[in-house]
Amino acid sequence: MTSHLTIDQNTHVAFVDISEAADNAQIRVVTVSEQFGLKSQIMARIDTENNVVLGLIIEDYPAFRREIMMKYVAFRVGKIVELILCSLKASMANERADRRHRLATAV
């Protein structure tokens, strides 16, 4: 998985981009902090039309780094970000499968 991290030095907001939005994208931003047991504010940008995780928005990136380093004793914050993205992708795949199953059994 290739991701690109950009940190706004004025606001300390980090943007992790992993894919471009398609022309027909319906982009939704959802908070995912609680899903990972984190106090830091983490939001995922999701294309609901194509079921694609586009990236993450992490508010107060320095505080997020400290939290990750203390909670998971992880000095490679990038690996934790990758785990969050992989988990989100898996969650979206499960939701898509559940939706297909409900549609198939509704008949």
pLDDT digits (tens, 9 = 90+) for 78-89: 777 888 888 888
Which 3 state secondary structure label does DSSP give 79? helix
Report the predicted TM-score, pTM, of the whole model to 2 decimal places. 0.73
Measured CA to CA, the distance from residue 96 to residue 24 in angstroms comes to 18
pLDDT digit string (tens) for 46-60? 998 888 889 999 999
Q: How high is the pLDDT of residue 70?
A: 83
Amino acid in the structure at residue 102 = R
Dist. CA 107–CA 105, nearest whole Å: 5
